[in-house]
Chain A
Amino acid sequence: MPIYLRKIAIAVTTVLLITACSHSWHHKVGFLGTTPSRELTLVSFTVTRRAYDRIIPLFTEQWREEQGESIVINRSYGPSGPRTRAIIDGLPADVVALPIAADVTQLEQEGLVDPGWEDELPHGAIVHQSLPVLMTRSGNPKQLQSWADLAQPNLSIVLTNPKTSGVARWIFMALWGSVLQQQGTAEDALTYVHQVYGNAPLLARDAREAADAFVNRGQGDVLINYEQEAILAQRAGEGLPYVLPSPNIAMGSSVAVVDVNVDRHGNRDIAEAFCQFLFTAPAQQIFAEAGFRPIEPTVASAFSADFPQVEELYSIEDLGGWDFAGEQFFQAGAMFDQMQAGLAKP
Chain B
Amino acid sequence: MTWPWRITWLYLSVMLLLPVAALVAKAFSLSPGEIWGIATDPIALSTYKVTLTIALAAAVTNGIAGLAIAWVLMRYRFPGRALLDAALDLPLALPAAVTGLTLVTVYGDRGWLGSLLLPLGIQLSYGRLGVYMAMLFVSLPFVVRAVQPVLAGLDRSLEEAAAGLGAAPGRRFRKVLLPLLLPATLTGVALGFARAVGEYGAVVLIASNLPFKDLIAAVLIMQKLEQYDIAGATVLGLVMLLFALVILWAINLLQARNQPMRGDMGGGQARTTLTSHLHQPGLGWQTFGIKRFFLLGSVLVYLALVLIVPTANLFFQALRGGLGPFLAILGQREFLTALRLTLGIAAIAVFLNSAFGLCAAWAITHRQTRNLPQPSRLSSLLLSLIDLPLSVSPVVAGVMIVLLYGRGGWFSPWLEAGQIRIVFAWPGLVLATAFVTLPFVVREVLPVWQAIHPSQEEAARSLGAGDSLGSLLSNRSIFQRLTLPQVRSSLGYGMVLTYGRAIGEFGAVMVVSGSIIGKTQTLSLYIEDAYQNYETQSAFIAAMLLACLTLAAVGLRAWFGRHQA
A: residues with CB less than 8 A from B are: 1-5, 7-8, 11-12, 15-16, 18-19, 22-23, 26, 41, 43, 46, 49-50, 74-79, 81-82, 84-86, 88-92, 106, 161, 163-164, 200-206, 208-209, 212-213, 216-219, 330, 332, 337, 340-341, 344-346
Contact = CB atoms under 8 A, between A and B. Distances in A.
A2 B211 contact: no
Interface in B510-544: 510-511, 514-519, 521, 529, 531-534
B432 to A, nearest CB: 13
Given A22-B340, A89-B407, A332 B532 contact: no
B285 interface: no
Interface in B95-116: 104, 108-111
A77 B210 CA distance: 27
A164 B227 contact: yes
A12 B347 contact: yes
B423 interface: yes
Contacts of A203: 208-210
24 contacts: A2-B484, A4-B560, A11-B556, A15-B347, A18-B340, A19-B340, A22-B340, A74-B519, A77-B517, A77-B529, A78-B515, A78-B529, A81-B227, A85-B225, A89-B423, A90-B421, A90-B423, A91-B516, A92-B421, A163-B227, A200-B210, A209-B205, A216-B108, A344-B211
Closest 3 CB pairs of A and B: A202-B208, A90-B407, A19-B344
Contact of B564 (A3, A11, A16, A209): A3
A90 to B, nearest CB: 4
Nearest to A74: B516
B533 A49 contact: yes
B43 A341 contact: yes
B352 to A, nearest CB: 11
Contact of B42 (A12, A22, A341, A346): A341
B399 to A, nearest CB: 9
B406 A89 contact: yes
Nearest to A229: B534
Contacts of A206: 532
B212 A163 contact: no
Given A3-B564, A43-B514, A218-B109, 7 more contacts: A8-B492, A76-B516, A85-B225, A202-B207, A206-B532, A208-B534, A345-B42
Contacts of B529: 77-78
A181 B58 CA distance: 49
B335 interface: no
Contact of B532 (A23, A163, A208): A208
Contacts of A19: 340, 343-344, 347
A156 to B, nearest CB: 11
B515 A77 contact: yes
A79 B226 contact: yes
Contact of A75 (B226, B517, B564): B517
Interface string B484-500: 11001000100100000
B204 interface: yes
B346 to A, nearest CB: 8
A91 B424 contact: yes
A23 B109 contact: no
B171 interface: no
A39 to B, nearest CB: 9
A106 B227 CA distance: 11
B515 A163 contact: no
Nearest to B42: A341
B209 A202 contact: yes
Contacts of A204: 209
Nearest to A346: B212
Interface string B545-558: 00000000000100
Interface string B125-143: 1100000000000000000
A90 B232 CA distance: 21
Given A50-B533, A217-B104, A85 B516 contact: no
B48 to A, nearest CB: 15
Contacts of B209: 161, 202-205
Nearest to A50: B533
Nearest to B407: A90
A16 B109 contact: no
A10 to B, nearest CB: 11
B314 to A, nearest CB: 16
B287 interface: no
Contacts of B510: 82
A157 to B, nearest CB: 13
A330 B514 contact: no
Contacts of B228: 81, 84-85, 88, 106
* Most chain A beta-carbon contacts within 10 A, residue among B42, B110, B531, B532: B532
Contacts of A346: 212
B536 to A, nearest CB: 9
A202 B125 CA distance: 11
B264 interface: no
B273 interface: no
Given A3-B564, A337-B43, A74 B407 contact: no
A201 B208 contact: yes
* Most chain B beta-carbon contacts within 10 A, residue among A3, A46, A200, A209: A209
B350 interface: yes
A196 to B, nearest CB: 14
B121 to A, nearest CB: 16
A205 B204 contact: yes
A2 B110 contact: no
A76 B484 contact: no
B344 A15 contact: yes
Contacts of A1: 480
Contacts of B534: 208
A244 B516 CA distance: 35
* Most chain B beta-carbon contacts within 10 A, residue among A88, A332, A337, A340: A332
B424 A345 contact: no
B96 to A, nearest CB: 13
Contact of B516 (A75, A163, A330): A75
Contacts of A3: 563-564
Interface string B29-69: 00000000010001100000000000000000000000000
